[in-house]
Amino acid sequence: MTKKQAFSQLAVFVLLASLLVVPTVHAQQATRLAKQFSSSLAQRRGLCVYLGGTETTIPLLLSAGGNHIVNILTPDSDAVESMRTEISEQQLLGVVTAEQVSLGHLPHSSNLVNLVVVDQLGKQLAAGLQLKDVMRILAPGGVAWIGQSRSAGGLSESALKLQLEKAGIDDAAIVKEDGLWARIVKPRPATMDTWTHNKYDATANPVSRDSQIGVPRGVRWVAGPNWPTGYRKSAVPTVVASRERLVYVFQDEVVVDGKLERQDSLIARDAYNGLPLWRRKGTTTVLVSVGDRVYTTDAGRHLLALDADTGKQLTDFSADAKLVIHQLLHIDGTLVVGTETGLSVLEAASGKTLWSKQLAIKDHRQLVVGTVAGKKIIFCHDDLSRRGEGSFMVALAISDGTTLFRQSTEDWANGSPDLVLVQDDILVAADSKGNHGVSAKDGKHLWSYSYPRIGHGGSYNKVLSMNGLFWIHTANTQESGQYAWEGLDPQKGKVVKRVIQPVDFKIKHRCSVDVATTRFFMCGSMDFADLVTGDYEHFEAARNSCAQASMLPANGLLYTFPHACG
């Protein structure tokens, strides 16, 4: 073999080796980047948007075999078909999608997407992409990765920072691994709120502080059955919302031994886009969602703590198995539970019982937690009326169970009253004639207020505390025959403000619980009364659920649930 032939063979070998190495290096880099991007998410499933030219390797890896839904967006119409072919070859059609779009305005709703990756930033900007639009579609707590992978090159750190500055993004972390990236976590607005308990929080006052919510102007997402299953009228007996997740009990219909059977399911969805996160058999309506935990009970009403991201039972939480639980409240790292024998207070982290008290709590559920003079206090209705021994409003120190007061209801209540809520140093109670105000400081009765209830669904238990007033819904304000929300002074029980329903505005009242924000009453059939303007408005595109679920205002959204009621 001549030197020339040997050199030619060597050149061919080097060329072939380089062709083999480049894809391998690219695949390794893509794997590292996909892991880097997905691991930055707060939860294991999510909606991802990828803007990176015609490249599909990273989006396919981002899907994690179906855990993440990935939308590839490109202005290149010629590349879409080949990208879809590559997606199909990986059997990920529907999980990963490729769409030709104009990058001038991304096609997603605001606050919807968990992860956005912008690769080849220069090309995307040249195609019309606005980084402000990237931040618009990102959900609170969502993550954007903006920059250039190493294989693309051509982006300096100063140029990247300049583009971020132009978009008003000033809290990005610069990452110099497998390229140059800016990692941005979208902050959660202070104007958003959660709904951690069946009636908002441990006070049982169903009023959200979420000022982003008003009368809906559209539908953000739809998920699950449109109608209740198993021939039910309502489908969701209880629902809560944390900062990241919507968790609810769904009265499901599942296949058991080849036959459909009614069986409740406990379901978690992403709060902003509705993607299913997990599902497990539901056995109770006791439900609280706080931070990275969901508290509920099993079929025997024994307390469980679940990982909010996976739905799996946490092994480092163990509550006393003798506690048979009917009510559950969470406050400042403490759980207050209503049991068949009274109430107990537990450590929220471990489930350890701190103290217990034997009481005949009405329905095993009538207890709330409020703050008086800066101290957390448990209030409950100790109902011994069936034994002929009276009915009492009781206050207990949350720290050790010390009885702060125990006051009889005999002098003011018509029968055994219901404890409705606590707010502004006042306990609100309801009996068959109206509402009552009781001092949360000493348990003394302060006022009574009677009024004609609205028709279907009218209840003296439907009281709201908003902006320093207690609000009730009457069918005959000032003897006018008109429906109205009346605001009562908490200390005196006197009407100081009215939001009167116009004569020509018709509301079909429902059995569902009324809820509110600090500005809007939400009642009837998706009907809204504006506390500021006094205007009434109806939303036609959806309807609140029957019974307890109703509507749930949280995370800048208004959630509704399936129903089969006219």
496-537, pLDDT tens digit by residue? 999 999 999 988 888 888 999 999 999 988 899 999 999 999
- CA dihedral 95→100→105→109, nearest 10 degrees, is -20
Distance between CA atoms of 370 and 355, rounded to whole angstroms? 18
pLDDT band at 8 (very low <50, low <70, confident <90, very high): very low
Please report which confidence band the pLDDT of residue 2 belongs to, taking 50, 70 and 90 as the band edges: low
> Two tokens at 102?
């104009």
DSSP state of 213: -
User: Cα separations (Å) of 1 from 10, 14, 17?
Assistant: 12, 18, 22
Residue 464: the pLDDT is 97
pLDDT exceeds cutoff 80 at 85: yes
Q: Which residues of 242-259 are buried (b: 16+ CB within 10 A; e: fewer)?
A: bbbbbbbbbbbbeeeeee
Looking at this protein, which amino acid is placed at residue 448?
S
Question: What are the C-alpha distances in Å from 161 to residues 131, 305, 337?
Answer: 12, 43, 52
Q: What is the pLDDT averaged over residues 334-351?
A: 97
Q: Whole-number mean pLDDT of the chain?
A: 91
Percent of the chain topping pLDDT 90? 78
pLDDT at site 225: 84
Read off the tokens for 153. Answer: 């090159």
- Let me know: does 117 contact 62? Beta carbons within 8 Å: yes
pLDDT one-digit tens code per residue, 154-209: 789 999 999 999 999 999 999 999 999 999 999 999 999 999 999 999 999 999 99
CA distance 160 to 165: 9
For residue 518, how many other CB atoms are within 10 A of its CB? Answer: 15
More confident residue, 259 or 17: 259
Q: Is the per-residue pLDDT at 389 higher than 50?
A: yes
Q: CA–CA distance from 295 to each of 291, 354, 376 (Å)?
A: 11, 17, 21
pLDDT of residue 263: 87
Q: Pick the residue with more confidence: 508 or 24?
A: 508
Strands (E), 220-315: 238-241, 245-256, 259-270, 276-281, 287-290, 293-297, 303-307
> Quick one: pLDDT at residue 152?
59
With a cut of 50, say whether residue 30 has pLDDT above it: yes
| Residue 332 Rama label (left phi>0; alpha psi -120 to 50; beta) | left
pLDDT tens string 100-144? 999 999 999 999 999 999 999 999 999 999 999 999 999 999 999
Query: Which DSSP symbol is given to 433?
Result: S
* Residue 15: per-residue pLDDT: 34
Q: Average pLDDT of 532-555?
A: 88
Q: Which residues pair with 346 in a beta bridge?
A: 335, 353
5 contacts: CB under 8 Å, gap ≥ 6: none
Instruction: Please tell me the distance from the alpha carbon of residue 521 to that of residue 150, in angstroms, as a whole number.
Output: 54
Separation between Cα atoms, residue 229 and residue 232, nearest integer Å:
6
Rounded to an integer, what distance in angstroms lies between the CA atom of residue 462 and that of residue 285? 20
Cα–Cα distance for residue pair 296/445, rounded to 1 Å:
35
As a three-state string, the secondary structure of 512-545 is CCCEEECCEEEECCCEEEECCCCCEEECCCCCCC
* DSSP per-residue string spanning 340-389: SSEEEEEETTT--EEEEEE--BGGGT-EEEEEETTEEEEEEEEE-GGGTS
Q: What is the pLDDT of residue 251?
A: 87
Residue type, 434: G
pLDDT at 23: 47
Q: What is the pLDDT, as a whole number, of residue 1?
A: 55
What are 485's strand-pairing partners? 473, 499
Sign for the CA dihedral angle at 413, 415, 420, 421 comes to: positive
> Mean pLDDT over residues 464-470, rounded?
97
pTM: 0.92
pLDDT value of residue 513: 87
Interval 356-371: pLDDT, tens: 999 999 999 999 999 9
CB 307 within 8 A of CB 314: yes
DSSP assignment, residue 494?
-
Question: pLDDT confidence of 21, banded at 50, 70, 90?
Answer: very low
